[in-house]
Every structure is written in C-alpha cells, then in structure tokens.
Chain A
Amino acid sequence: MAVTAATARRSSRPASVRSLRPIVGFAAVVVVLVAVWEIAKWLAGDPWRFDSFLGTGIRIHHTPPFHLIQLSDINLPHMWDVVGAFTTPDAAGEPGIATLIGSALFTLRGAVVGFALGASFGLALAVLLVHVRILERALVPLVVASQTIPIVALAPIIVVGLQADWFGIAIVASYLTFFPVTVAAIRGMRAADPRAFELLRSYAAGRREILAKLRWPASFPYLFTAFKISATASIVGAIVGELPSGFREGLGGRILLAMQYYTLSPADLWATVIVAAGLGIAAFLAVVAVERYALRDQRALDATGAAS
C-alpha cells in the first residue's frame, strides 16, 4: 500500500520537477564536499588571514588548532583559491575560466573524434566477432591484452610515432573507447531471446536481416551502457594523448603546465582538474540524453539505468 501511494505521488509530480531532482542532488553533494574540505582545513590546515574579507574591510585571522601536512595549502588549496584561479586574469588578460574552457574545447574535439572512431571500430569488431566464431577465439585475448597496456606508455608511440598531429590524440582516445563498446556489443547482439532467433530462422532470414532486425536493436541498452563508459574514457584518452603531443592548447597541456608550477600556485592544477571532471560529466550526460531519446519507447530497464 505504502509503495503504491509513494509511486502515485511521485508520478503525479510534473516532469520538469522530477528532471531537476538529480541536479539538486548533485549540487547538494558538491556543497557538502566543499564544506567538508574547508572544515578540514579550518581544523588542521595552514593558518590563513583576510585583511579585508570580500572588500568589506573585515579582518579575519584563523590559526587552526591542529596541523596535518596533508591539509596544507600546497596539498589542498582553499576553495576560494581554486575559485580565484578561475577568475584571475592570466597573461593574455583573459580570466582563467575562459582559457580553461578554450582548453576543454580543444580536448573535447580530440575526445569526440576519438569516441566516434573508437565506437565505430568497436562496433565493427563486435559484428565481425559475433559472426565469425573462429575469429572471436583468436582475437578476444588480443583485444583484452590491448587494454592491459598502460595508455601513458602507448600514447607517445601513437602520437609521436604516427606523427599524426592532433589526430593522434583522437587515436589515443579511441583506443580507450573501443573496448567497452566491443564487449557490450558482443554481449548485446547475443542477448536477444533465443526464440527470437528461431523466429527469424523460421522466416528464412539471412545473417544481414538478423543483424538489422534483431541483433542491432536488441543490443541498444547494452551499447548505451558502454557509450557512457567510453564517453568519459575518451576524455581521459584525449588528455593523456596530449601529454606527449607537444600541443599545449588542451587540458592535457594545461595539466603539464600546472604541474610544473604546482608549488607556486597549486590552485591552478585543481582548477584544471575540476574542468576536466566537468568535461567528463558533460560527455556522460550527452550520452544519457541521446539514450533517453533513442530508447524512449522501450520498457524501463533497471539493470542499465536506461530509462529509470
């Protein structure tokens, strides 16, 4: 009874309110994290002082009662310093956030192209492996092995070795992207009800028709789960790909730079990391949006979170 009532109440709320709920939840988590961070610093960080707090002329001095080296300003800069890294103008006179967003867009280009390449390759490979059992046995160990090589070791080989400009970055991103897609697509294309295959067999359907009418649509929920993993992985891949590339326009370049100056201004690295994380979340949400649209008519699938 209680469950029914709760469900009824929930579904009676307008859709706009319900779609806001995860955003409110996320914001709450961020607020809590920031609070915990600053409370920790207040308790055991470095002493800090404002001679004129937010320009109000109020002097704030604070000496934490304890001291932990892990909570020092070098290891864990104050949130307002991180925010400061976003607002402070850099050498070109732009606020930090503008430069960072520009860097994020550069990284995003490599990631998107890498994602497209990797997903296409992953899908093609899965289609091949699903249809040719011998190849599956021969290639799957190789595919798995490919993912055990650290990407930082492989990135210079691809980017420098191929001399492929920023396209090399996309290839590194695609390297991290294809594997989840292949695994999920193989699974999904085999996941349909065995009787559905018998049904198509009774219509004397060929392999191509079985692929188009059954395997492909049946693998969608699996594919989108993989796309969510791959979308974030492609951002990581693009950032790692930038490190040996000589390109300094992207987030990878920014991270290298911030690392060099970390002892001087640790907040810069944290700011860059926050933007990178935001980019990953954005990529993830983009896939979720496409998934919602593509699977809008399908039954809710709890296991993959497809339509929950």
Chain B
Amino acid sequence: MTASSTPWSPGSPGGPDDAVVRLSGVSMVFGGDSGAGRRVEALRDIDLSVGRAEFVSLIGPSGCGKSTLLRIVGDLIAPSAGTVTVNDKPARRARLDRDYGMVFQAPVLFDWRTVQKNVELPLEITGVPSRQREARAREMLELVELSDFATQRPWQLSGGMQQRVAIARALALDPSILLMDEPFGALDEMTRERMNLELHRIWARTRTTVIFVTHSIPEAVFLSTRVAVMSARPGRISKIIPIDLPRDRNVETREMERYFQLVTQVREALRAPDSDTSPETSERQDAALARARAEGPGQ
C-alpha cells in the first residue's frame, strides 16, 4: 500500500482520507440527568480526524477536557453524544480488538512484576504463548533502550525510565493507535526533553498513530504533525495548527526559526481561543451544527 507508506501531508484541508480515528459531534456532559451534582459540560461538539502515522497533540488549559477526550477515543468512557470511529469501527469494537495502547501520566507499573513481566502483561492477557511473549517484551525493551533493566523491579527505576517501560508495554501489542495522557507531565524539564526525543524516535520507527495530551507547548510542537488547541468551558477544539516542520525531528529542530514561530502560534491560539477564524475549524463547526440539527435532540 503506497498510501499508508507516504506520510499524510498536513496541508490537506479535509483531514486525511485514511483516518485511523474519526470523531464527529462528540460531546460529554457529566452529571445532569440524574439530578445529583452540578451538570458539567466537559466537551462540546468535537470533530477531529487523525490519519495513519500522524502525531496529534491535544493542548489546552486544565479543565478543557483533553484527557476526557482521550478517554472517549479509548472507549474508557462513553460520550454523551457523537460518534467515535477507530479503524472504521466503533471505539468499543476497536478496544475489544486491542487496537489501543495507553500511556498515562503515571507509569502505572505493577510493583509485583519485573520490568520484563510488566511489558509482557498485555501479551499475557491476549493469550500470547510465553516464548513469543518474552521475545516481544525483549524487543520492546530494546526499543526503549532498557534491555539491561529487564529483571529489575519498576520501583528501582527512575521516573523517566518507568515511563519508558510504560511506553514499551503500550507498544507490545503493536497497537494501531497510541493514546498518551500527559505521559511526561511528572518529569523534570531535562528528562522531558530527552523523553521527547526518545518518543519521536520510537514513533518514527514504529509508525504508530499517536494522540498525545499535553500542557507543554514546546513538547506539542516538537512532537506533533498537528496540534489541536482546546479551550475550556465547554471544552472544544478552537484551532488546529499543522506543524510543518521536517518530519524527522532532532535536537536542532528546537533551534529552528519555524519551530519558534509555531510555538508562538500555539501560544497565541491558547491565549485567544475565541478569536479563531480558521476557515477549516469554522467549516467543521458549521457542519457539526447542521448535523446536530438534523439529528435533533435526544441523540
């Protein structure tokens, strides 16, 4: 397939054709109908397509629902309205087909398992025979450059190393989409920059599709092919900024003028989310509105 081997160019207006993830009209309301607690509109009418081998960052102020959106994509929670399609399937089907890899802000490693056994965990659940399991976990640990620590316990590793184990574990099933929820949020700045390079290298090698939640602007620009800027109350995507940096990123990328321009662009989009006049977004919002009217209430 030539289509999947050429990376999707961020310029195309309607989003990628071979979208791995398609969100349309996704809304999330917490509380409300039960009457208990205040009704909170976490997300309103989110439309987003993520193409194969794309790296899309969700960035926004805290409380803008970016983590909620990620959990909806991963079918960890169900949206109040709208549809989520992953690999042309409903999100639930995709989860049951094990299309996802998840990485959280905390590594969530199991203390009672060695590093190697932690990486093997998803393979155990999917019933991979032990010989293949070991080989695959070794391969993944090599990818994150932690082969020497396979027999250690997670708590004997540094925070950055633990997060690399979590990434190795997430990649063990060779997921078609990797969902990362502020994976480096708890790390210090220097470790974070190193981890960004590492993650970029892994992404370039595995060609996995990534949706990445972050609140770090430089991180989002450095890693992504597109940055979706979100605004809060209710959470929505106010602007999508294509990152037209060379696909291969390295230490020098952070010193490029274009990089600084993009960082500024994201920062400005975050500062004034409502003054957004991007035709792409408003077009989508119009379409979503039309759909909402057509479908009517009660959906």
Q: Which residues of A contact B (CB under 8 A)?
A: 193, 195-196, 198-205, 209, 213-214, 217-218, 220, 297-299
Residue from the list A195, A204, A220 in contact with B98, Cβ < 8 A: A204
A199 and B111: CB pair below 8 A?
no
Residues of chain B lying within 8 A (CB to CB) of residue A218: 112
Known interface pairs A202-B74, A203-B126, A297-B153; A193-B95 also in contact (CB < 8 Å): no
B122 within 8 A of A: yes
Known interface pairs A209-B125, A297-B153; A202-B95 also in contact (CB < 8 Å): yes
Q: Which of A195, A200, A204 is the most central at the interface, judged by chain B CB atoms within 10 Å of its CB?
A: A204
Residue from the list B96, B108, B111 in contact with A298, Cβ < 8 A: B111
A195 and B112: CB pair below 8 A?
no
Residues of chain B lying within 8 A (CB to CB) of residue A205: 125
In angstroms, how far is the closest chain A Cβ from the Cβ of B200? 23
B145 within 8 A of A: no
Q: For chain B residues 72-116, which have a beta carbon within 8 Å of chain A?
A: 74, 76, 95-98, 100-102, 104, 106, 108, 110-112
A214 and B110: CB pair below 8 A?
yes
The CA of A119 and the CA of B45, in the complex, are separated in Å by 52
A-B contact pairs, 22 of them (CB 8 A): A193-B106, A195-B106, A195-B108, A196-B110, A199-B104, A199-B108, A201-B76, A202-B74, A202-B76, A202-B95, A202-B100, A202-B101, A202-B102, A203-B98, A204-B97, A204-B98, A213-B110, A213-B124, A214-B110, A220-B112, A297-B153, A298-B111
Q: Mark B117-128, 1 if CB is under 8 A from A, else 0.
A: 000011011100
Residue from the list B71, B108, B153 in contact with A193, Cβ < 8 A: B108
Q: Which residues of B contact A (CB under 8 A)?
A: 71, 74, 76, 95-98, 100-102, 104, 106, 108, 110-112, 121-122, 124-126, 153, 155, 173, 179
Known interface pairs A213-B121, A217-B112; A199-B102 also in contact (CB < 8 Å): yes
A299 and B104: CB pair below 8 A?
no
A299 and B125: CB pair below 8 A?
no
The CA of A291 and the CA of B129, in the complex, are separated in Å by 31
Residues of chain A lying within 8 A (CB to CB) of residue B111: 298-299
B112 and A297: CB pair below 8 A?
yes
The CA of A217 and the CA of B117, in the complex, are separated in Å by 14
Total A-B pairs, Cβ < 8 A: 54
Residue of B nearest to A193 (CB): B108
B110 and A203: CB pair below 8 A?
no
In angstroms, how far is the closest chain A Cβ from the Cβ of B117? 10
Q: Which 4 A-B pairs have the closest CB atoms?
A: A202-B102, A217-B112, A204-B96, A299-B155
The CA of A209 and the CA of B126, in the complex, are separated in Å by 10
In angstroms, how far is the closest chain B Cβ from the Cβ of A47? 62
The CA of A297 and the CA of B98, in the complex, are separated in Å by 30
Residues of chain A lying within 8 A (CB to CB) of residue B98: 203-204
Residues of chain A lying within 8 A (CB to CB) of residue B106: 193, 195
Residues of chain B lying within 8 A (CB to CB) of residue A217: 110, 112
A196 and B155: CB pair below 8 A?
no
In angstroms, how far is the closest chain A Cβ from the Cβ of B210? 15
> Beyond A202-B95, A204-B96, A213-B124: 7 further Cβ-contacts under 8 Å?
A202-B100, A202-B102, A202-B179, A203-B173, A213-B110, A297-B153, A299-B111
The CA of A201 and the CA of B179, in the complex, are separated in Å by 13
The CA of A220 and the CA of B122, in the complex, are separated in Å by 22
Known interface pairs A204-B95, A297-B153; A198-B76 also in contact (CB < 8 Å): yes
Known interface pairs A195-B104, A198-B76, A299-B155; A203-B122 also in contact (CB < 8 Å): yes
Q: Which of A198, A199, A214, A299 is the most central at the interface, judged by chain B CB atoms within 10 Å of its CB?
A: A199
